[in-house]
Amino acid sequence: MARRGGGHWPVITKDPTAGPIKKETVRRVMKAFAPYSRKASVVAVAIIITSALGVANPLLIKKIFDTALFPVTKQNVPLGVRLNRVYWIVGFMVAIPIVSGFIGVGQTYLANVVGQRVMQDYRNALYRHLQNMPLRFFTATRTGEIQSRLQNDVGGVESVVTDTASSILSNVVILLSTLIGMLVISWKLTVLSLFLTPLFVFLTYRVGKARQEVARNTQRSLADMSAITEETLSVSGILLSKAFGRQKFEIDRFRTENERLAALEIRQQMVGRFFFAIVQIFFSITPALVYLVAGIVDKGHFPPSITSGDIVAFTTLQSRLFFPIGQMLQISVEVQASMALFERIYEYLDMPQEIVDAPDAVELKPEQVRGDVRFRHVFFRYEEPPPSVGEAAEGGAGAAEALASVDTAALTAAIGTPAIAAVAAAATANGHGREWTLEDVDIAIHPGQLAALVGPSGAGKTTLTYLTPRLYDVNEGAILIDDIDVRKIKLESLGEIVGTVTQETYLFHTTIRRNLMYGRPSATQEEMQAAAKAAFIHDRIMELTDGYDTVVGERGYRMSGGERQRLAIARVILKDPRILILDEATSSLDTTSERLVQEALRPLMRGRTTIAIAHR
Q: Give the single-character DSSP code of 61.
A: H
Q: What is the mean pLDDT of residues 462-483?
A: 89
451: region left, alpha or beta (phi > 0 left; psi from -120 to 50 alpha): beta
Winning range, highest mean pLDDT, from 170-179, 334-343, 583-592, 605-614: 170-179
In Å, how far are 95, 442, 534 from 377, measured between CA atoms?
82, 5, 37
Asked if the domains at 21-349 and 366-504+578-613 fall in one CATH topology, the answer is no
**pLDDT value for 133:** 85
SS3 (DSSP) at 508: coil
What percent of the chain clears pLDDT 90, i.e. is strictly above it? Answer: 8
Q: Tell how far CA 259 is from the center of its chain.
A: 25
Per-residue pLDDT band for 19 (boundaries 50, 70, 90) equals: low
- Strand-by-strand arrangement of the 498-502 sheet: 419-423, 450-454, 609-613, 579-583, 498-502
Task: Say if residue 45 is exposed, middle or buried (CB neighbours under 10 Å; 0-12, 13-18, 19+).
Answer: exposed
pLDDT at 479 over 90: yes
Torsion 13-19-25-26 (CA) sign: positive
pLDDT at 162 over 60: yes
**pLDDT value for 215:** 76
Q: What is the mean pLDDT of residues 518-546?
A: 89
Write the pLDDT tens digit of every residue in 264-289: 888 878 877 777 787 777 777 777 77
Write the pLDDT tens digit of every residue in 399-435: 444 443 444 554 555 444 555 555 444 444 333 444 7
* Residue ranges per structural domain of the chain: 21-349, 366-504+578-613
The closest alpha carbon to 15, from 229, 259, 223, 233, belongs to 223
Give the C-alpha separation, 515 to 509, whole Å.
9
b/e map 12-30, b = 16+ CB within 10 Å: eeeebbeeebeeebeebbe
- The secondary structure element, H or E, covering residue 77 is none
More confident residue, 17 or 442: 442
**pLDDT value for 357:** 86
CATH code of the domain occupying 366-504+578-613: 3.40.50.300
What percent of the chain clears pLDDT 70, i.e. is strictly above it? Answer: 81
**pLDDT value for 392:** 36
Give the C-alpha separation, 408 to 166, whole Å.
72
Q: What is the mean pLDDT of residues 298-321?
A: 72
pLDDT at 2 over 60: no
CATH topology for 21-349 is ABC transporter transmembrane region fold (1.20.1560)
**pLDDT value for 484:** 92
Q: What is the mean pLDDT of residues 15-36?
A: 75
